[in-house]
Amino acid sequence: MDIAGSTALVTGAASGLGAATAAALAARGATVYGLDLDKAVAAADPGPEGVTLLPADVTDEEQVRAALARIDADGARLRLAVNCAGIAPSARILGRRGPHDLDLFKAVLEVNLVGTFNVMRLAAQSIARHEPDDNGQRGCVVNTASIAAYEGQVGQIAYAASKAGVAGMTVTAARDLAQYGIRVVTIAPGIVDTPMMAGFSDEVRTGLAEGVTFPKRLAHPDEYARLVTMIAEHDYLNGETIRMDGALRMNAR
């Protein structure tokens, strides 16, 4: 798949992994539409040339459909969808204040798992309408899981469940969408130096980096973005979840 001249949809695009991915795809010649919550779009710095930020909640069907309709109205042909939107609150199954809040658990699954599925299914519908290339390919969906899907830590029960769900969808989604020439690949990052990490002290960040086998540092958002571009261009990558973690295997805490 050629990135140059294609159109991409990136969720969570106002910051972190999504912003880095949107910028990387635009730098490679793609027209990028980035989705994020209204307040995040309003607060975001002007994106690079080739990136248009649109307010949309990934869990809201009508808002995602409206964003896809905007792409159609602009005469663009969607080829790539990248799901980066997510939340990561922490709570134990049983804590000092009692059992895990059920609404919090549902909220994490709603954003991380249901939101990913919602964008994937609607983007696939849009991608499938376009003519395939010479290899029969119409496009690609890249989802974001986490190594917490495999080794969730204390307090990550909701996050781990949601990301395990994303990883678990990968093969089935690839099989479902194969008849339309759409590939599906998931990235499971380790600890990435995103704005969500900004609240941690240098001591905590150093400790987290020490747990990585090699290189002993946090991952950079642009490294995730480079992996997205590689997946998009590598037509034989399909139905796989790729760990991007420096061989990190998370301890219990």
Residues taking part in catalysis: 159
Alpha-carbon distance of 211 to 207, in angstroms, equals 7
Q: Residues 38, 55: contact at Cβ < 8 Å?
A: yes
Cα 146 from chain centre: 10
What does the block give as tokens for 148? 């917490």
What does the block give as tokens for 154? 């204390």
Identify the three-state secondary structure at position 192: strand
Alpha-carbon distance of 232 to 3, in angstroms, equals 7
- Paired with 34 in beta bridges are 10, 53
Helix H or strand E segment including 98:
strand 98-99
Characterize the bridge pairing of strands 31-36 and 51-55: parallel
**Burial class of residue 73 in the structure, from the number of CB atoms within 10 Å of its CB (0-12 exposed, 13-18 middle, 19+ buried):** exposed
- Paired with 66 in beta bridges are none
Helix H or strand E segment including 36:
strand 31-36
